[in-house]
């Protein structure tokens, strides 16, 4: 059974995708991926990032434990100094496996959701600021702002021009859904909000990045609200976003806009080593 099929079955059963976008990109490019596969599951190692997925119908049979032991046996001598593994959806089986093999819980990522039928505040753009859809000539500025905004988050901040182009080739990409803010009359970006539509009914606050030099001007709230209006006007029924559980300022902004978090919508990262 293929990795794609097992991942699809796991997502259908758990309500959360077991592989993130970066892992799918690494698989597509056949880069830096070590794989261990069986009929009922697989383990992938991308750098220090471990993904372990078991078919829902084969769980509680020791498949995950066997895969993890195989990974550890093949990496402890020459592998990364530490392993990082996500449990998408805070699965109890993942927590038990982590405890048994000395992985510690180091990071919680929340999924927050908003019913698109709830009314939104009116969008008022301050004088001197322009909010508009993406244009091809904005590419270099999007990369620049993204790198500056996410300098402390290598998962996102490392995006270069080639990766940006690759993401824009995805079926879901809509230039009108990548909203940018500039000083009126200038092409230099102050920030951007990249929205994403997973389906006609489900939208996402995909990435909100603000140039650190433009912080303190309310651009994060402005661009988030602009993106929510865009998704609502497009007809989605629900909007989700991902936020670090300890990012209190961002959570406060999202909460004021009607986003809520349920405990089951928590992704947990574990670390070993």
Kindly state whether residue 257 falls inside one of the protein's structural domains: no
Q: Given strand 33-38, what is the order of strands in its sheet?
A: 33-38, 41-46, 49-54, 83-87, 260-272, 104-115, 238-244, 202-210, 189-197, 178-183, 129-133
Domain match, 128 and 196 both: yes
Same domain? 35 vs 75: yes
H/E element, 74: helix 63-75
| pLDDT interval class at 264 (50, 70, 90) | confident
Asked if the model's pLDDT at residue 103 lies above 80, the reply is: yes
Confidence of residue 78 (pLDDT cuts 50, 70, 90): low
- Taking only the tens place, the pLDDT of each residue in 119-163 is 999 999 999 999 999 999 999 999 999 999 999 887 788 899 999
Q: Do residues 95 and 162 both lie within one domain?
A: no
Tally of domains in the chain: 2
CATH number of the domain at 89, please.
3.40.630.30
The predicted-structure confidence for 215-239, as pLDDT tens digits, reads as follows 999 999 999 999 999 999 999 999 9
Same-domain check for residues 150 and 205: yes
Higher pLDDT, 155 or 116: 116
- State the residue range of the domain holding 151: 118-236
Query: What does the pLDDT read at residue 39?
Result: 93
Confidence band (pLDDT; 50, 70, 90) for 58?
Answer: very high
34 and 74 both lie in a single domain? yes
| More confident of the two residues 74 and 108 | 108
Asked if the structure places residue 140 within a domain, the reply is yes
């Amino acid at each position: 059974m293929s990795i794609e099929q097992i991942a699809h079955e796991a997502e259908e059963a758990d309500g959360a995708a077991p592989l993130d976008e970066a892992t799918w990109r690494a698989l597509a490019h056949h880069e830096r991926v070590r794989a261990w596969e069986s009929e009922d599951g697989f383990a992938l190692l991308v750098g220090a990032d471990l993904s372990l997925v078991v078919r829902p119908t084969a769980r509680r049979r020791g498949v995950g434990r066997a895969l993890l032991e195989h990974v550890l046996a093949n990496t402890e001598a020459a592998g990364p100094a530490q392993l990082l593994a996500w449990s998408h959806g805070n699965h109890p089986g993942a927590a038990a496996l982590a405890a048994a093999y000395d992985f510690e819980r180091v990071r919680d990522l929340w999924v927050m959701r908003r019913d698109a039928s709830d009314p939104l505040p009116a969008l008022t753009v301050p004088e001197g600021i322009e909010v508009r859809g993406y244009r091809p000539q904005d590419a270099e500025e999007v990369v620049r702002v993204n790198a500056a905004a996410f300098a402390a988050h290598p998962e996102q901040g490392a995006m270069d021009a080639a990766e940006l182009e690759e993401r824009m080739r995805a079926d879901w990409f809509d230039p009108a859904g990548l909203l940018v803010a500039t000083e009126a009359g200038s092409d230099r970006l102050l920030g951007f909000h990249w929205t994403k539509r997973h389906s006609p009914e489900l939208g996402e606050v995909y990435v909100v990045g603000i140039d650190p030099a433009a912080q303190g001007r309310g651009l994060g709230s402005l661009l988030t609200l602009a993106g929510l209006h865009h998704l609502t006007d497009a007809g989605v029924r629900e909007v989700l976003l991902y936020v670090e559980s300890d990012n209190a300022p961002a959570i406060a902004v999202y909460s004021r806009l009607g986003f809520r978090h349920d405990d089951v919508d928590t992704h947990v990262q574990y670390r070993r080593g």
